[in-house]
A and B are shown apart, each in its own frame.
Chain A
């Protein structure tokens, strides 16, 4: 076991997979000589060279398309998009091509690309660097969407994503790159399907993904001090959603809060709560609660930004509401 930061876990996964398979390449802005904005490919340019660690021009749609084309001919490109906001530029090749080519070709071709991108707010990056967009990707047929919350998942899911034959979007988070955790020295994989119970409890279920899992865990600690036992579910995967794990938890606790950093309209929470209503409506003892960002472009001013983005405190109060305590 070695204490590993989230960014180091991603770097290690790249390194091992590139050593394992010469068809694995990485491409993105500043990922080579500079080593990546979040250091996720640092040192790899010297090890694998410019043909496999490819510094791209600022042309998201077309370098994503080049990665997709290469994947159709057998390569396994890991495409880094510096911020999920910029992924909007690549939606044509990603959604109109990568997500549809297997289907349109009647299963003859596949696009085993990985797109890694941080999707979340950091500190005062303002509206054009603070988008989340998870809800948009999870509504696209033909993609897998995963949201690792920890170095374990960041490492193990990237390795699985590279080996998977489907296009996989990995949504990371700018506030998690320095998060540390002990991870095994031996190689391992973490699957691209399945939610995880990260804390067991009996009184209420708190559901999160990516950074909001940490808000849920913090809220659960405060609830414990109040004598309330909260179960925390990390969705891990937004497409396909693991409804079975959610149902089992809600049938146990009968109350639920879904916490997301995305905005609410047509959000992740909407989808999760719809699933709960369809799957186990009669298990609920109170109405489900959504914790989400305000429906505004993210402001620059620190006080306004804080007000726009959900906090652990919001999740805690959401839980009290679901429990009928406020």
Chain B
């Protein structure tokens, strides 16, 4: 990875942090409704893993799918930040035309196959995407990001089993942030190390630091290459931490300030910026001007676009329920 790429990665993570902070502000201003789950603290995982995958290339992309904490995964896969923000605002120009909202970002043009609100549901969908890629003889793989909480769903075990027995090219990325909503992993789950849980499915698995993007990228490269080349599944776990509550209704009363401080000392953006400064690739001043640029871009492009976009038309309420242009040969109606 060259120096320019390193600087770009730092900027991306800074952008993602600011994007999420800005959605928080918009939520407080009641411009964003529903549930809002923010990714701050976990940026190194999605950024690092997807940096090692095929993203940003439209239909050639790997398939990416995740849960409801999905804004950043969508953007890193190739979705336009302004369209993701417009979606949060419920606008017609949003990535899901205002029909999905924060938890259901989709960008089919970039093979970002969605954010899902049923914990554990993306496991089988990801395996199905991988099955299709393999069936078509493409070298695409499917990448499924979920939290540790999802692993207590039956779909986790069912899908690990089938992905393994059918040798599907799918990478399961477990973002272990230690909490399933507000319940600590030690109180809900028999083992803290999630990668150990897949050993009964004869699947390759490993665990890594999820706060250091260099570590993430190194591990992810090996995993992505394995899935693509061997056409087999891989389960990779990253230990990470979300700074904000599970969603906006969450006051974080279930954890201590001390615990938060321990993790924030290893903030992924701080770790990486310090490393790049130390290596002489970037200066404090440059970082400050990057911050300013990002603030400006998010305010004057991303948010402005969302604010100024039109809402969906009420007369379009019934669009997209079923195929809006069905073929009468199959659909009919029956000729009397």
Contacts and interface: CB of A to CB of B under 8 A. Distances in A.
Contact of B332 (A71, A159, A191): A191
A137 to B, nearest CB: 14
A64 B124 contact: yes
Contacts of A59: 158, 161-162
Given A65-B159, A73-B136, A104-B96, 10 more contacts: A57-B161, A65-B127, A65-B128, A67-B128, A104-B104, A105-B100, A164-B327, A165-B326, A166-B322, A194-B335
20 contacts: A62-B159, A63-B158, A65-B121, A66-B124, A66-B127, A68-B124, A68-B125, A69-B124, A69-B125, A73-B128, A103-B320, A104-B96, A104-B100, A104-B106, A142-B322, A144-B322, A160-B330, A164-B323, A166-B322, A194-B334
A141 B113 CA distance: 21
Contacts of A149: none
Contacts of B321: 102-103, 141-142
B253 interface: no
A102 B322 contact: yes
Interface of A: 23, 25, 51, 54, 56-57, 59, 61-75, 92-93, 96-97, 101-110, 141-142, 144, 159-161, 163-166, 189-197, 236, 242, 245
Interface in B112-129: 113-114, 116, 118, 121, 123-129
Contact of A51 (B135, B326, B333): B135
Contacts of A92: 118, 121, 155
A317 to B, nearest CB: 30
A106 B132 contact: no
Nearest to B65: A69
B131 interface: yes
Contact of B155 (A25, A62, A72, A142): A62
A242 B332 CA distance: 11
Contact of B135 (A25, A93, A104): A25
B94 to A, nearest CB: 7
B320 A106 contact: yes
A101 B114 contact: yes
Nearest to A196: B334
Closest 9 CB pairs of A and B: A69-B128, A191-B332, A65-B124, A194-B334, A106-B97, A62-B158, A73-B132, A194-B333, A105-B106
Contact of A109 (B106, B131, B136, B165): B106
Contacts of B65: 69
Contact of B128 (A61, A66, A163, A245): A66
B108 interface: yes
A74 B136 CA distance: 9
B292 interface: no
B108 A105 contact: yes
Interface residues of B, number: 58
B107 A69 contact: no
Given A57-B158, A106-B99, A160 B121 contact: no
Contacts of B15: none
Given A165-B326, A194-B334, A72 B129 contact: yes
Given A59-B158, A73-B129, A191-B334, A104 B123 contact: no
A106 B321 CA distance: 9
A69 B332 contact: no
Interface of B: 63, 65, 94-100, 104, 106-109, 113-114, 116, 118, 121, 123-133, 135-136, 142, 154-155, 158-159, 161-162, 165-166, 319-324, 326-336
Contacts of B135: 23, 25, 51, 70, 75
A166 to B, nearest CB: 5
A306 B125 CA distance: 41
B331 A71 contact: no
Contact of A66 (B109, B131, B328): B131
A97 B332 CA distance: 26
A96 B99 CA distance: 15
Nearest to A144: B322
Given A59-B158, A61-B154, A70-B128, A164 B99 contact: no
B333 A106 contact: no
Given A66-B162, A93-B121, A106-B97, A242 B128 contact: no
A102 B104 CA distance: 11
Contact of B106 (A68, A108, A165, A190): A108
Nearest to B163: A66
A163 B329 CA distance: 9
A68 B128 contact: yes
A159 B331 CA distance: 11
Give the most central of A54, A97, A163: most B CB within 10 Å: A97
A92 B120 CA distance: 10
Contacts of A191: 328-334
Given A59-B161, A62-B159, A236 B94 contact: no
A106 B159 contact: no
Contacts of B132: 69-70, 72-75
A166 B126 contact: no
